[in-house]
Amino acid sequence: MPTAESIARLREVLQLLKSFHEPADIRRAPALEPAVDKVVSAAAELVDVTEPENLQRLALAVKAIKAAQKAARAHRRNPLTRPLSHARFALKVGSAQGAIQGVVDKLDPADTRPSS
């Protein structure tokens, strides 16, 4: 059974990812580093859970966050490819957000908000 603490950590990461919605937010990419650690520690606590899809989604989220960080580094290094870096960053942050949201929804269905 997942702990409330691991779900809370995932919610924190989710809130952080949701805060990246403007192109200029790519400059805040270093704030993603603790997010990787939080997702990894939550995944470690979920190893006992019988649904391996959750672990796969969290692994994909970590991979996407790291790819977003890589896009941010490319954004700083190469001015010519900045538009591509913005798009890649937004795509990867959105991918991580979706993966974590899916896990949180499965782990805590009582708190799932209805879609409008």
For 89, other C-beta atoms within 10 Å of its C-beta total 24
Reported as half-sphere exposure (CB side, CA atoms, 13 A), residue 23 has a value of 7
Using a CB cutoff of 8 Å and minimum separation of 24, what contacts does 75-83 make?
Answer: 75/26
pLDDT tens, residue by residue, 13-56: 999 999 998 888 999 999 999 999 999 998 888 876 667 888 89
Q: Which of the four pLDDT bands, split at 50, 70 and 90, describes residue 93?
A: very high
Res 75 pLDDT > 80: yes
DSSP state of 20: -
Average pLDDT over residues 57-81: 93
| Domain coordinates in residue numbering, the chain | 4-107
Contact indicator for 14, 58 with CB cutoff of 8 Å: no
| Nearest CA among 15, 94, 14 for reference residue 86 | 94
Burial state string for 59-75 with b = 16 or more CB within 10 A and e = fewer than 16: ebbbebbebbbebbebb
In Å, what is the CA distance from 7 to each residue of 35, 44, 106, 111? 13, 12, 10, 11
Q: Which of the four pLDDT bands, split at 50, 70 and 90, describes residue 116?
A: very low
Phi, psi for residue 49 in degrees, rounded to 5? -70, 140
Please give the CATH topology (third level) of the domain spanning 4-107: Four Helix Bundle (Hemerythrin (Met), subunit A) (1.20.120)
